[in-house]
Amino acid sequence: MASGSASARAPQVQDENPSCNDVASFKAADIVVQLCENRKPKPESENLPFGTVFTDHMLLIEWSREGGWEKPRIQPFGNLSLHPACAALHYGVQLFEGMKAYRGQDDRVRLFRPMLNMKRMLKSAHRACLPSFDAAELLECIRKLVEVDQDWVPHSESASLYIRPAFLGTESKLGVMVSSHALLFVVLSPVGFYFSTGNNSVSLWADSKYIRAWKGGTGDCKMGGNYGASIVAQCEAMKFGCQQVLWLYGDDHQITEVGTMNLFLYWINEEGEEELATPPLDGIILPGITRQSILELARKWGEFKVSERYLTMAELRLAVEQKRVREMFGSGTACVVSRVGRVLYQGENLQIPCGDESNSLVSRLLKELTDIQYGRTESDWTFLV
Ligand SMILES: *Cc1c(COP(=O)(O)O)cnc(C)c1O
């Protein structure tokens, strides 16, 4: 019978990982709000170091295998209390997200394509064997949290409110197992804008000594372990006088990502075509929402070839030599786009052109994306809080 093997397999998968499967989601309508008595003073938003100041409230949602999801709570910002055997602390049963709320000149607060963050978070949760939830319900809970702390969204088009959801396995036994308890929480932090124009291009250390992600691993999920393990490489890059790591993969030294950003190369390719290229989502690349948005914008413009393709260091070195590279940049929520000015590879400095300041692709992308984020351009990519 055709259905035999399929139906024999499905229950087996469920048994292995009971908490991944359809559980009734928490509901935003059930939120319990407890407001703090004293609001903290707001800092000057322009020169805030990233992620150092937090708002007055946070969102917490607990789950257990026996009880399912509890009611979401918005409560005063404060420390968590965790059992010392907590799975997140020992085995990295953990994941996070990163998104921002932007206040436009019209004083309205917007999120940028937030459902994509919710869906990516669900994918990471599945990889960590943490329970599922309804993406739209979580987005509504986050919207409500931002609304409660809306005075913290900077009144500036060069700053924003960073939104950090995190999800922890809180199993309080030392065995490596699917967590029977979990905690999803969201904190908010006002941040200044990282301008990627002018001379502040980044220098990169390209070396195959450390590998960020590998096939079958977790590089395509925002799981904490990927980042904790990358710090040593970042330190080594700085010893070599570089600011960030250019992550390579495989014997052919494929270019994958830069620091915690996706990577784009705007060049004349081997065929002589003008091309904007970024590595394909083959499991070792984090599926960035800025990456996706840049690809969609550039494809809509239709002015040059836009490719998701492999790029190697040999190809980059040759292109730099033959002056075929126009611009190279990283992309991510924190900075939108960030120019690469130099790559140190096998003892050689590859100088990357930065394009004409006003006419560059980086400047154009930065403008188009921030125009949408701050509501200067109408777009169905924005979500009003
Ligand atoms: C978060 C992240 C990105 C960028 O993703 P966005 O959704 O654009 O912010 C790229 N690479 C890595 C490794 C990341 O963690």
Amino acid at 331: S
Looking at ligand 1, which residue's alpha carbon is closest to its atom 6?
A: 288
Q: What angle do CA 360, 154, 95 make, to 5 degrees?
A: 80
* Distance from the alpha carbon of residue 97 to the mean position of ligand 1, in angstroms: 9
Q: What is the pLDDT of residues 257-279, one digit of tens each?
A: 999 999 999 999 999 999 999 99
β-strands 202-207, 336-345: how paired? Answer: parallel
* Distance from the alpha carbon of residue 174 to the mean position of ligand 1, in angstroms: 31
Q: What is the pLDDT of residue 13?
A: 42
With a 6 Å cutoff on the Cβ, whether 288 touches ligand 1 is: yes
Looking at ligand 1, which residue's alpha carbon is closest to its atom 14?
A: 260
With a 6 Å cutoff on the Cβ, whether 121 touches ligand 1 is: no
Q: What is the DSSP letter of 312?
A: B
Q: What is the pLDDT of residues 46-93, one digit of tens each?
A: 678 889 999 999 999 999 999 999 999 999 999 999 999 999 999 999
Q: What is the pLDDT of residues 17-35, one digit of tens each?
A: 445 556 799 999 999 999 9
Looking at ligand 1, which residue's alpha carbon is closest to its atom 11?
A: 261
DSSP 359-372: T-HHHHHHHHHHHH
What mean pLDDT, rounded, does the chain reach?
A: 92
Looking at ligand 1, which residue's alpha carbon is closest to its atom 12?
A: 260
Residue 199 pLDDT class (50, 70, 90 cuts): low
Residues 101 and 307: their CA atoms lie apart, in Å, by: 30
Tally of CA atoms within 13 A in the half-sphere of 290 that contains its CB: 25
Residues 263 and 151: their CA atoms lie apart, in Å, by: 34
Cβ(294)–Cβ(265) below 8 Å: no
Q: What is the pLDDT of residues 155-171, one digit of tens each?
A: 998 899 999 999 999 99
With a 6 Å cutoff on the Cβ, whether 97 touches ligand 1 is: no
User: Is the pLDDT assigned to residue 11 strictly greater than 60?
Assistant: no
With a 6 Å cutoff on the Cβ, whether 244 touches ligand 1 is: no
User: Is the pLDDT assigned to residue 154 strictly greater than 50?
Assistant: yes
Q: What is the pLDDT of residue 358?
A: 78
With a 6 Å cutoff on the Cβ, whether 290 touches ligand 1 is: yes
With a 6 Å cutoff on the Cβ, whether 222 touches ligand 1 is: yes
pLDDT above 90 as % of the chain? 87
> What domains are there in the chain, each with its CATH number?
6-192+376-384 (3.30.470.10), 202-354 (3.20.10.10)
Ligand 1 atom showing the smallest separation from residue 226 Cα:
13
User: Is the pLDDT assigned to residue 116 strictly greater than 70?
Assistant: yes
Q: What angle do CA 159, 330, 232 make, to 5 degrees?
A: 95
Residue 239 pLDDT class (50, 70, 90 cuts): very high
Q: What is the pLDDT of residue 195?
A: 55
With a 6 Å cutoff on the Cβ, whether 260 touches ligand 1 is: yes
Average pLDDT over residues 310-322: 98
